Chains A and B, each alone.
Chain A
Amino acid sequence: MTSMDTRSIVTGEGEGDGTAAPRRARRRYTPEGRRSLLLTVLLWLCVLYFVLPLWWLFVSSTKSNTALFSTFGMWFGGDFSLWDNLQALFTVRGGIFLRWMLNTLVYSVSSALGATLLATMAGYAFAKYDFPGKKVLFSATLGAVMIPLTALALPTYLLFSQAGLTDTPWAIIIPSLVSPFGVYLMRVYAADAIPDGLIEAGRVDGAGEFRIFWQVGLRLLGPGLVTVFLFSLVATWNNYFLPLIMLNSSELYPITVGLAQLQAAASGGGGSQTLFSTVITGSFVSILPLVIAFLFLQRYWQSGLASGGVKG
């Protein structure tokens, strides 16, 4: 329940800013004279750099296995077999791909909501309270930013194995709830976005600390919440190694591990299958939700980051 509240607050915050964003955007582009050819070219190169792989992915997902290896990669060739590929994708191994999609969705959304809430509370506490051990704890958090999740995967596995939690969804969600970078981000953000005066005012009016955080703090932190939410969402969505070692049952796999397994079916040996077009189409389908999430959330994110500081 609390997580849902967080999200509705985020959305509410964003809607207020959404109307402001286009106005500001228009103003920014008015000075025509300041266009620079060099910058334009550089930006277009960047666009190519980022968009070409996606383009390749899209083009390749319209090809059959044979066309994949006999036609030019950056343009359509052979028969247009996107529908066949999609059909194959959603029927391979009894339609397990849909299950993987749902798993990824459940893992990443629940992890992202939980991680956002925890990081926000911790960041708020670091920013607004003085307590013994604050410096040490915050240094420890900063240090934890440096440790990649991959390095912790094996120790985590051993712990979860003793607790009997391996091969369950918890094995993916619980480790993903911790986001040191999110804590750091929220601390910096909360320090600026929530004026101490507001908190004082809340206290004078008789609100408890938790109510101040919940009703005053969270609303001002909206854009930061979206940022942390997106970061954790993408991190869990793309996580490969942790589910790889934690999970054994195909029905629990997220897309990353599932696709890798389909891809492995093409290595030499008995019963090899050529599922390349299926795997590529699967990769294409698997990034669509992320692309959509970013398109929808980016305006809150952008406008929020820019305006958060002056709002208080």
Chain B
Amino acid sequence: MALVTGAVSIGVLLTGCTPGAGDDSSQEAVTQEDIDTAMTTPTKLTFWTWVPDIENEVKLFEEKYPDIDVTVENVGQGLPHYQKLRSAIEAGEGAPDVTQVEYQYIPSFVLNDSLLDLTPYGADDLSGDYVDWAWNQVSPDDAVWAIPQDVGPMGNLYRQDILSQAGITEPPATWEEYAAAAKTVKDSTGSYISNLGATQAGQMIGFFWQAGVKPFAYDGKETVSVNVNSDEAKKVATYWTELIQQDLISTDVDFADQWYQGLASGKYAGWLTAAWGPIFLQGTAEGTAGAWRAAPLPQWTAGDEVSGNWGGSSDAVLASSENKIAAYELAKFINHDEESAMRLATEQFLFPPQVSVLEDPAFVDQESAFYGGQKVNQLFADISQTVDTDFQWVPYMDYVYSTYEDTIGTVITDKGDIAAALDTWQDQLVKYAEDQGFTVE
């Protein structure tokens, strides 16, 4: 821990020595002098985020920089947040200085130059402090668009009691074993081994991510590539289609009443979810405490260790901010300061992308009674090292998600062929991109 702090201050010092002083022009590096001036000038910052109680971490920032006054505003979670953000950006006023952005929505704000490139402010120096794949999410090329806040590497939460009742003692290591286990569990206990959220694009895209599918790409300008119906994607889709058609996987809409009941009642013997899932589950299915265990996702090739990601956010600085240096320091502090990052991980239960937290015994050695005393954080910290580093998005993910519900979601509910539906989805996404004036590769 001390080492990391040391490294950070060296980083700051180094930036200080970088030649080429400039005010806050976006091209030249900012000097330590600029930073000192900015951080001791009375400044008001606005921070839009939906992280509950983030005021606690912001308070740490204000204690360190008493001249900076931060207003935290929660304007909504997910889509409502982005709608407000976009209208404020378009209106030219009322936009915050720092905003929470989920990784998949970063390109949509890069597209119209709404985000500030953080490289001149020293963000490059932070690259080694975060797990590689998370850093690539905020910095797909030379620019750095945001500071990673939390991530959702995927794993397998399962009911050990139900699985052992079916004679399964080890969590399935491969998808093949998983399918076989699904049949055994269903036959001997009547439970589904897990549920595939019918309208949950995030989960399916996470499975794609794990399988090495690269459905999207974006060059930061006007060229996108859409490839949701590749052979690898269809392999994943066919796998789920078969399980669903054999009635071995249920397809309830997740995060809805029936689904919560299913988790509590043992209708599902597992949940393939992200690193934020364990705590969430604990809050909804207390009655099953102690019966759950966590494991990595089943693998496509035996012996592999690969995972995908589902969810997570970053904090970005808007290009329209009038106090860019202070805004960057805020985004950095919240997700980089030792105490702040640790509190985000242990009090708000955001799964950390920061290497120092992932290696901190205070975080990874926590034993969870809900999971029979298992060190769940350690498990997901290990999984986080195995997420493919080269996954990208397109700048119109709202549309991607909404069409997922219409095309793939309905097919899943009707137990149809998901692989065939991928073709329809592909056509829609390409057509939309062309209509919007993108060059599609």
Residues of A bordering B, CB below 8 Å: 64-66, 68-70, 92-94, 161, 166-167, 244, 248-250, 261, 264-274, 276
Pairwise interchain contact A271-B74, C-beta atoms closer than 8 A? no
- Decide yes or no whether B362 CB sits under 8 A from chain A: no
Q: Are B76 and A264 in contact (CB under 8 A)?
A: yes
Residues of B within 8 A of A167 (CB): 94
Chain B: interface secondary structure?
mixed
Q: Assess the A70–B52 pair: CB atoms within 8 A.
A: no
Chain B contacts of A65 at CB under 8 A?
Answer: 283-284, 286
Q: Are B102 and A269 in contact (CB under 8 A)?
A: yes
Q: Which of B84, B202, B287 contacts A268 (CB 8 A)?
A: B202
Selected contact of B260 from candidates A69, A268, A272, CB within 8 Å: A69
Query: A166-B94, A269-B276 provided; 10 other pairs, C-beta below 8 A?
Result: A65-B283, A66-B264, A66-B285, A267-B78, A269-B313, A270-B312, A271-B313, A272-B276, A274-B284, A276-B260
Q: Which residue of B lies closest to A162 (CB)?
A: B91
Q: Mark B76-87, 1 if CB is under 8 A from A, else 0.
A: 111010001000
Please give the distance in Å from A35's CB to the nearest CB on chain B: 41
Partner of A271, one of B263, B284, B286, B350: B350
Residue of B nearest to A253 (CB): B74
Query: 4 tightest A-B contacts by CB?
Result: A274-B283, A66-B286, A270-B150, A269-B311
Residues of B47-64 whose CB lies within 8 A of A: 48, 50-53, 55
Bound complex: CA A312 to CA B73 (Å): 54
Query: Which B residues are CB-close (under 8 A) to A66?
Result: 264, 284-287
A266–B261 Cα distance when bound, in Å, is 15
Decide if B53 touches A268 in the complex (CB within 8 Å): no
Contacts of A70 in B (CB 8 A): 261, 264-265, 287
B123 interfacial contact with A, CB 8 Å: no
A residues near B149, Cβ cutoff 8 Å = 270
Chain A contacts for B78, CB-based, 8 A:
264, 267, 269
With a CB–CB cut-off of 8 A, which chain B residues contact A267? 77-78, 255
CB-based contact A271/B348 at 8 Å: yes
Closest residue of chain B to A249 (Cβ to Cβ) is B73
A270 B77 Cβ-Cβ under 8 A: no
Chain B interface category by residue count: 35 or more
Q: Is the interface of A mostly helix, strand, loop or mixed?
A: loop
A241 to chain B, nearest CB (A): 11
Q: Tell me the bound Cα distance from A161 to B90 in angstroms.
A: 12
B395 contacts A by Cβ under 8 Å: no
B94 engages A273 (CB within 8 Å)? no
- B73 close to A250 (CB less than 8 A): yes
**Residues 223-238 of B at the A interface (beta carbon under 8 Å):** none
A267–B253 alpha-carbon span in the complex (Å): 12
* A166 proximity list for chain B (CB < 8 A): 94
- Name 26 A/B residue pairs within 8 A (Cβ), A-sorted: A65-B283, A66-B264, A66-B285, A66-B287, A69-B261, A69-B264, A69-B265, A70-B264, A92-B52, A93-B52, A93-B53, A94-B55, A167-B94, A248-B73, A248-B94, A250-B74, A264-B77, A268-B276, A268-B310, A269-B312, A270-B276, A271-B150, A271-B348, A272-B276, A273-B52, A276-B260
Cβ of B70 within 8 Å of any chain A Cβ, yes or no, is no
B296 interfacial by beta-carbon distance below 8 Å: no
B90 CB, min distance to chain A CBs, angstroms: 11
Q: Which residue of A lies closest to B284 (CB)?
A: A274
* Closest partner residue, chain A, to B257 (CB atom): A69
B66-116 residues with Cβ-Cβ distance < 8 A to A are 71, 73-78, 80, 84, 91, 94, 102
Contact between A64 and B286 (Cβ–Cβ < 8 Å)?
yes
Contact residues in A for B52 (Cβ distance below 8 Å): 92-93, 265, 271, 273
- Decide yes or no whether B151 CB sits under 8 A from chain A: yes
Alpha-carbon gap, A94 to B74, bound state (A): 14
| Least CB separation from B276: chain A residue | A270
CB of B426 within 8 A of chain A? no
B333 touches A (CB below 8 Å): no
- Contact residue among B48, B255, B263, B350 (Cβ-Cβ distance under 8 Å from A270): B350
Contact partners of B150 in chain A: CB under 8 A: 270-271
Most A CB contacts (10 A, CB to CB) among B51, B151, B202, B260 go to: B260
A167→B80 CA distance, assembly (Å) = 16
